[in-house]
Structure 1
C-alpha cells in the first residue's frame, strides 16, 4: 500500500488558504496513487487559533468545510485535522474521509500543556476506548477512539502529544487491537535537535514497540507569529526508518509518499533523505522560513534594523539575507517576488538587489561609538546588499539630558547616574528608527537575545523597541559561535569585522572600555546557570552545587549565581514587554510562550542566603 504524509503551511482561520493547500496536497497524493494521505493536526483551522478555539462557531465552520472538502476525496483516504464539538465540549480531532464519505473522527487523548502549549485551555481530552457519535447534515458520524480498516489493513491514531506520553500512549491499545498502521498528525513546534528525537522516540521506537508501520506528519512554517513548524514527515516500520522528507520548505505544501509492504518490512520502499540536522544549519533554515512567512502573512514591505556592528544586530541582518537567498532558490524568483510584493524587474534574479528592497539598516552612533563598530556595520550591510543609513543621535541625547538637569537642578555624572546616562542613549535611538520603519511600511526588528532577557540587560524602549524579536530565543554564546560558522560555511565574509569585536553596548565613554561580560558575567557561565535554573527548574542552591562541581572552587561562581537569580527576579516586567519572538531552542524566556514568572516576588531572598 502506498501511504503519504502531507505537510501544510497554514494560517489561523484563513479558510481559503488552508483549504487550497489541503486540496492541492490531496490532488498530488491522488496523482501519486496514494491510498492513505495524512495531513497535520488542526490543519483546517490552523493550530495557532488560540482562544478562538473557545468560540463554538469556529468548530462549526470547520465541520461545514469538511463536508465541502470530502467531495474532492474520491478514490483516496484523507485525514484532516479539525476541532470538533461533542456534547457541548471541544475536542482536537482527525477526520477520516474514504472516497467522499466521512467514516469517523478520531479524538486526541493526551493534551499538550507544558512549554509552548496550552491545549487544556481550549480542548478536552478524549477518554481511551470510548466511541460516541455526532450528527451533521443528516449524517451520523462516529467520533472517539476508533479503529479503521481498508484492504485488510487496520489503522488508528496517536495525535501529536499522544505519542510523547510514554506511559499513556494510545499505541499500546492500538497494538493490542491489531492495528497495522498508526497515523500521527501533529503540530510539533520546532526546536534545534528536536527532529532527531521525533525520529527515534516517536517513529522508530513506536513502530518497533507496536509492531506496525508508523507515519508522522507535522505542520510547516511560521503559522501564527511565534511558533515555527519544520514540516517533518517521517515513516517507519517495525523499528526501521523508511523515509524522511527535507524539512523547512518555503512551499505551501510538501508530500512524501512511500510504498509499504505490511507483511515483510524488507520489501517496503526505503527513500533516501537529504535533510540536514546540523544545529547551525537548522537555525539558518528555520529563522529564514519564519521571517519569510512573517513578512508575507503580515503583508509588510520589508524589515528595518538598527545595525550597531555588534553580534545581535548582525545575526538579524544575515538571517534576512539568508531568507532571500533560500526562499528565492527554492521557489524561483517569480513566485518569491509575487509572495513578498516586490517588482521582479527590480531584482533581476540578484539576491543582493532583493535584500536591498527588503532590508533597511541604520547605524545610529554617539560620541561613545567606535569607528570599529561603524566599519563592521557598514561592511556587513554592503556585503549583503542592504540599504544603509548612518546618523548621530548626540543632539537628542544632549537635549534630553539638559532638560532633566534643569528640572532636577543638578548635572548628571557617570559616577552617580551611570544607568540613566546609558539608557537615554539607547532610548534616543528608538523614535527615529521607528520613523524609518513607518516610512518603509516595514517590520522593525529588535535585537535582544535570550541571555539579555534572563538578566534584564536590555533597555526598555531602546534595544527592545520593535515589533518582532527574531533572536530573543537564542543565547548569546550560541549567537557568537553561529556568526563564526556563517562567515565560513555560508560565505558571509562581511561578518569578519563583527567576529573580531568583543561584545559591548558602547554606552559608556570609550575610555571606560565597557564590555558586556564585565557588566554581567562570562556568557558561558550565564548559559550554564540558565540551563539549570530555567530549563531544569533547579533552586539557586542546586544550581550553585552543579556549577561548583563543574568549575571547581571559585568564589566568583557563587557571586554569578546570586547575581543571575537576583537580576532574573527583578526583570520579569521587561520579559513581559518583549516583542513577539520565535521559539528556537529547548527553552525560551518569553512568558507568553514558554516561561511564566511573577512580576513581583521575594527575589529568592531566603534561597540566596542559604549558601
Structure 2
C-alpha cells in the first residue's frame, strides 16, 4: 500500500529497518536520508522511525570517547534534519548532555525527534545494559525522565531497547500521556530471541494498554548479527506489519489519536530453526567480509563436515565466484576426503586448488630432527601439519586479498581440539559459536535445497565418522566423548553456568563431565587468540564470556 492513509485522520508511521556500518556516520546518514525519501514517496508516511544509534552503528564502543567522532555525529544529524522537510523523524544517536546536567559521563544514548527541520525533543535511554555483549554504562549517562511527543494529535512515547525490558520506563511514558510506544532497538540475534522479545512487548502492553512499534537494526557487526524482524504489536498483543528477518525493510502502521491501530502493512514470514541460524551465519559472513574491504574469501577444504558447511555458507553469502577452496593433503589424508572436497566444489561451482603439504611437513620434521631425537611422536607432529596449512592459507590470503575463513566449531574450540596458528589461523570464524551437533543439523537442512540439481554437501561428508586426519586411522572419538554429550556439557557449563554436581544430577557421567570442564578452563588461552566469529547463542566465546586466562579455579 502506498500514498496517504485510508483514514485521513490517522497518523502513518513508517518503520525503517536498515543496516548501518559502525563509525561511518556519513554513509549511515546517506542511508537514513534515502529511507526517509522512500517512506515519503512510497508510503506517504508522516513519521519515520529508525533503530537505536542508527547514526553511529551499534555498538560504537570506544569511538564514543573521541571528540572528533562526536563532532561528525552532530554534523550528520544536522544534515538529516535539513533533509527531513515536512516529515517527523525519530532516530537513534549519541547526544552530549546539557551544560547544566550533573557531572559525570558526557553523552547519552538518545532518540532524537526531528520535525520541521529541527530537533524538537530528545529521549535519553534510561535502562543501560551492562551484561553479556553490552557495555553501555562505560559510555552513557542514564536518562531520568519519560518523553512523550504529540505528532498530529497522537501522543507518542519513546523508549530505547533495554527500556522495554524494564517496566518503569514504559509505564511512566504511558502515565505521561503516551498512547503509542515507539521503541528503537539494536537488539542482537541469538537463537529463540524473537520469543523473548514478543513476550516482553506483550508484558508492556499489559502494563499500559499501549500498542508498541518495535524497530530493530539489521546486519552483521563483528561478532554480532542483528536480525531486524521489526514489528507492530496492537493493544490486544497481535503482532502485525512484520518486517523481514536478516534483510532491510520498510513497513508502516496507521494510528488513530486514541492510539488504536487502524491499518498496517503486510507481514513477512520469519525463518525458524536451522533456517534462522543459517540466515544469521550468512548475514554475519557477508557483512564482515564486505565491510572490512574484502571482495572474497579463501578456506581450507578438508573433506570433513565443518569445512564443508563453511564453504556452503560462504558461497550462499558471497557467491561462488568470490570463494576459493584449497585442498592440502598430507600422508594421512584419505582419498575419500579428497574426492568429497572436489565433488562439493564442483557442485557449488567453486574454484578448487590443491597444495600438498607433505614436502613442507617433511622439511620441518628434518629441521627439528636433531632436537627431537629419541622422542616419540605426539601432538607436536599433528600440530605441525595444521600449522603448515595455516602458513599456506595465510599466504594465499595475503597475495590475493581474500579473507581467510577458519572452520572450527564451538565444540572443538571449547575443549581445545584445535591448533593455534594452524586451523585457528584466519580473519573470521563463521561457525565459532555453532556446536558440532548443530553443524550436522545445518548441513542436513541446507541439503534440502539443491544447487543446479546437486547436493551442496555430499552425503558421505555428513555420514562418515569425523576425523582430523593428522595421524593414521584417527577419529574424533579417540579424544572426545560423543558430540551429543559433549555439546550438552558445554551448553550447561558455558551458557548456563551449571556446576559439575548440577550436570551429574541431570544424569551425565561424572568422569566425563570433570574432564570436559577441565579442558574448557585450560583452553581459555587458545580462545583468546582465536579470530572473531558469529554469535548465535545466549553466550558465545567472545565478548559475552570473559574468563581469566591465568586462573586457579577448578569447580570440583
Q: What TM-score, normalized to structure 1?
A: 0.84
Match of 2:350 in 1: 386
Tell me if the contact between 1:234 and 1:245 (Cα under 8 Å) persists in the aligned partners: yes
> Map of 1:434-513 to 2, 5 A cutoff?
434-489=394-449, 493-495=455-457, 496-510=459-473
Partner of residue 124 from structure 1, selected from 125, 129, 141: 141
The whole-number CA distance in structure 1 between the counterparts of 2:291 and 2:412 is 29
Q: Which moved more, 1:206-215 or 1:227-236?
A: 206-215
Report the Cα offset of residue 118 of structure 1.
Answer: 1.2
> Map of 1:343-354 to 2, 5 A cutoff?
354=319
Match of 2:150 in 1: 149
Match of 1:558 in 2: 510
Structure 1: where are the runs of 5+ without partners? 130-144, 325-353, 552-556
Tell me if the contact between 1:211 and 1:237 (Cα under 8 Å) persists in the aligned partners: no
**SS of 1:542's equivalent?**
helix
Q: Which moved more, 1:8-17 or 1:300-309?
A: 8-17
The whole-number CA distance in structure 1 between the counterparts of 2:196 and 2:267 is 17
Q: Measured at CA, do residues 424 and 521 of structure 1 come closer, stay the same or move farther in structure 2, by a change above 3 Å?
A: same
Tell me if the contact between 1:259 and 1:268 (Cα under 8 Å) persists in the aligned partners: yes
Match of 2:69 in 1: 58
Match of 1:240 in 2: 238
Does residue 574 (structure 1) correspond to residue 537 (structure 2)? The answer is no
Tell me if the contact between 1:208 and 1:237 (Cα under 8 Å) persists in the aligned partners: no
Match of 1:534 in 2: 494
Deviations 1:91-138 (A, max 9, x none): 1001001121211110000112111111111112222x3xxxxxxxxx
Report the Cα offset of residue 271 of structure 1.
Answer: 4.2
The whole-number CA distance in structure 2 between the counterparts of 1:385 and 1:54 is 46
The whole-number CA distance in structure 2 between the counterparts of 1:432 and 1:277 is 38
> Map of 1:6-25 to 2, 5 A cutoff?
6-25=16-35
Tell me if the contact between 2:297 and 2:323 (Cα under 8 Å) persists in the aligned partners: yes
Deviations 1:416-452 (A, max 9, x none): x321121111111111111112222100001111111
The whole-number CA distance in structure 2 between the counterparts of 1:358 and 1:566 is 40
> Map of 1:132-531 to 2, 5 A cutoff?
145-165=146-166, 168-202=167-201, 204-222=202-220, 224-238=221-235, 239-249=237-247, 253-261=248-256, 263=258, 265=260, 268-324=262-318, 354-355=319-320, 357-410=321-374, 412-413=375-376, 417-489=377-449, 493-495=455-457, 496-510=459-473, 514-531=474-491
The whole-number CA distance in structure 1 between the counterparts of 2:334 and 2:267 is 48
The whole-number CA distance in structure 1 between the counterparts of 2:233 and 2:29 is 28
Structure 2: where are the runs of 5+ without partners? 1-10
Partner of residue 601 from structure 1, selected from 545, 551, 554: 551
**SS of 1:268's equivalent?**
strand
The whole-number CA distance in structure 2 between the counterparts of 1:589 and 1:506 is 26
Report the Cα offset of residue 397 of structure 1.
Answer: 1.6
Task: Give the count of matched residue pairs.
Answer: 535
The whole-number CA distance in structure 2 between the counterparts of 1:243 and 1:570 is 48
Q: Measured at CA, do residues 28 and 208 of structure 1 come closer, stay the same or move farther in structure 2, by a change above 3 Å?
A: farther
Report the Cα offset of residue 543 of structure 1.
Answer: 2.4
Deviations 1:302-357 (A, max 9, x none): 10010001111111100112124xxxxxxxxxxxxxxxxxxxxxxxxxxxxx51x3
Match of 1:47 in 2: 58
Q: Measured at CA, do residues 62 and 494 of structure 1 come closer, stay the same or move farther in structure 2, by a change above 3 Å?
A: closer
**SS of 1:209's equivalent?**
helix
**SS of 2:346's equivalent?**
helix
**SS of 1:405's equivalent?**
helix
The whole-number CA distance in structure 1 between the counterparts of 2:287 and 2:85 is 32
Report the Cα offset of residue 520 of structure 1.
Answer: 1.1
Partner of residue 75 from structure 1, selected from 62, 86, 106: 86
Deviations 1:20-65 (A, max 9, x none): 1010111112122212211011111112221111223323332232
Report the Cα offset of residue 263 of structure 1.
Answer: 4.0
The whole-number CA distance in structure 2 between the counterparts of 1:60 and 1:429 is 46
Tell me if the contact between 1:242 and 1:269 (Cα under 8 Å) persists in the aligned partners: no
Tell me if the contact between 2:49 and 2:184 (Cα under 8 Å) persists in the aligned partners: yes
Does residue 587 (structure 1) correspond to residue 539 (structure 2)? The answer is yes
- Aligned-pair RMSD on alpha carbons? 1.8
Tell me if the contact between 1:310 and 1:503 (Cα under 8 Å) persists in the aligned partners: yes
The whole-number CA distance in structure 2 between the counterparts of 1:303 and 1:429 is 16
Match of 2:124 in 1: 107
Report the Cα offset of residue 518 of structure 1.
Answer: 2.9
Tell me if the contact between 1:566 and 1:603 (Cα under 8 Å) persists in the aligned partners: no
The whole-number CA distance in structure 2 between the counterparts of 1:208 and 1:5 is 23
Q: What TM-score, normalized to structure 2?
A: 0.92
